[in-house]
Chain A
Amino acid sequence: MSGAEGGVSPAAAARPAIGSGRFVPPLLALLCLAVTSVLVAVALGSVRVPPAELWAVLTGDGSPLHRTLVLELRAPRALAAFAVGGLLAVAGALMQVLLRNPLADPYVLGLSGGAAVGALAAMLAGLGAAVVSGFAFAGALLSTVLVFGLAHGTGSWTPTRLLLTGVVVAAGWGAVITFMLAVGPTERLPGMLYWLMGDLTYARTPWVAFAVLGAVCVLVIPLGRSLNVLARGPLQAAALGVPVRALEWSIYVGASLITAVAVTTAGSIGFVGLVVPHMLRLVLGNDQRLILPAAALAGGALLALADTLARTMIAPEQLPVGVITALLGVPTFLYLLYRSR
Chain B
Amino acid sequence: MAVLATQDLVIDIPGRPDGAPLDLTLAPGQIWGVLGPNGAGKTTLLHTLAGLRAARRGAVTLDGQPLRQLRRKRVARALAVVFQERQDGFPATVLETVLIGRHPYLAPWDMETADDLAIARGALECMELASLEPRLVNTLSGGERQRVAIATALAQTPEFWLADEPTNHLDLRHQVCVMELLRTQAQAQRGVLLCLHDINLAARWCDHVLLLYPDGEACWGPSGTMLVPEALERLYQQPLARTELDGAQVFVPKATGAIKPPRPAAHGRHSQ
Q: Which residues of A contact B (CB under 8 A)?
A: 1-9, 12-13, 17-20, 96-97, 100-102, 222-223, 225-226, 228-229, 231-233, 235-236, 238-243, 281, 285-287
Instruction: Give 16 A-B contacts (CB < 8 Å), ordered by A residue.
Output: A1-B91, A12-B133, A17-B95, A17-B117, A97-B90, A100-B90, A232-B86, A232-B88, A233-B85, A233-B87, A235-B47, A236-B87, A240-B100, A241-B74, A241-B76, A286-B91
Q: In angstroms, how far is the closest chain A Cβ from the Cβ of B154?
A: 13
Check A286 against B72 for contact (C-beta < 8 Å). no
Check B135 against A8 for contact (C-beta < 8 Å). yes
Check B111 against A232 for contact (C-beta < 8 Å). no
Which residues of chain A are within 8 angstroms of B93 by Cβ–Cβ distance?
A: 8-9, 12, 285
Separation of A236 and B149 alpha carbons in the complex (Å): 10
Given known contacts A102-B89, A239-B50, A286-B92, A3 and B139 CB-to-CB distance under 8 angstroms: yes
Which 9 A-B pairs give the minimum distances between C-beta atoms?
A7-B139, A241-B76, A241-B73, A233-B87, A222-B108, A241-B104, A239-B81, A12-B134, A12-B93
Query: Total contacts A to B, CB within 8 angstroms?
Result: 125
Check A232 against B87 for contact (C-beta < 8 Å). yes
Q: B101: CB under 8 A from chain A?
A: yes
Given known contacts A4-B136, A233-B86, A242-B103, A228 and B92 CB-to-CB distance under 8 angstroms: yes
**Looking across the interface, which residue of chain A has its beta carbon closest to that of B108?**
A222
Check B101 against A226 for contact (C-beta < 8 Å). no
Interface of B is mostly: mixed
Q: In angstroms, how far is the closest chain B Cβ from the Cβ of A191?
A: 39
Which residues of chain A are within 8 angstroms of B97 by Cβ–Cβ distance?
A: 232
**Looking across the interface, which residue of chain A has its beta carbon closest to that of B72?**
A241
Q: Which residues, 98 to 122 on B, are CB-close (under 8 Å) to A?
A: 99-101, 103-104, 106, 108-109, 111-114, 116-117
Say which residue of B90, B103, B134, B156 sits within 8 Å of A102 (CB atoms): B90
Which residues of chain B are within 8 angstroms of A101 by Cβ–Cβ distance?
A: 89
Which residues of chain A are within 8 angstroms of B71 by Cβ–Cβ distance?
A: 241
Separation of A117 and B86 alpha carbons in the complex (Å): 40
Given known contacts A239-B52, A285-B92, A223 and B75 CB-to-CB distance under 8 angstroms: no
Separation of A81 and B141 alpha carbons in the complex (Å): 45
Check B104 against A286 for contact (C-beta < 8 Å). no
Say which residue of A9, A19, A243 sits within 8 Å of B136 (CB atoms): A9
Check A8 against B134 for contact (C-beta < 8 Å). yes
Which residues of chain A are within 8 angstroms of B73 by Cβ–Cβ distance?
A: 241
Check A225 against B95 for contact (C-beta < 8 Å). no
Which residues of chain A are within 8 angstroms of B100 by Cβ–Cβ distance?
A: 225, 228-229, 232, 240
Which residues of chain A are within 8 angstroms of B106 by Cβ–Cβ distance?
A: 225
Which residues of chain B are within 8 angstroms of A239 by Cβ–Cβ distance?
A: 50, 52, 76, 79-81, 83
Which residues of chain B are within 8 angstroms of A223 by Cβ–Cβ distance?
A: 108
Q: B207: CB under 8 A from chain A?
A: no
Which residues of chain B are within 8 angstroms of A12 by Cβ–Cβ distance?
A: 93, 95-96, 133-134
Check A7 against B135 for contact (C-beta < 8 Å). yes
Which residues of chain B are within 8 angstroms of A286 by Cβ–Cβ distance?
A: 90-92, 96
**Looking across the interface, which residue of chain B has its beta carbon closest to that of A22?**
B111
Given known contacts A3-B139, A18-B113, A235 and B83 CB-to-CB distance under 8 angstroms: yes
Give B131-158 as 1s and 0s: 1 = Cβ < 8 Å from A's Cβ atoms: 0011110111000000000000000100
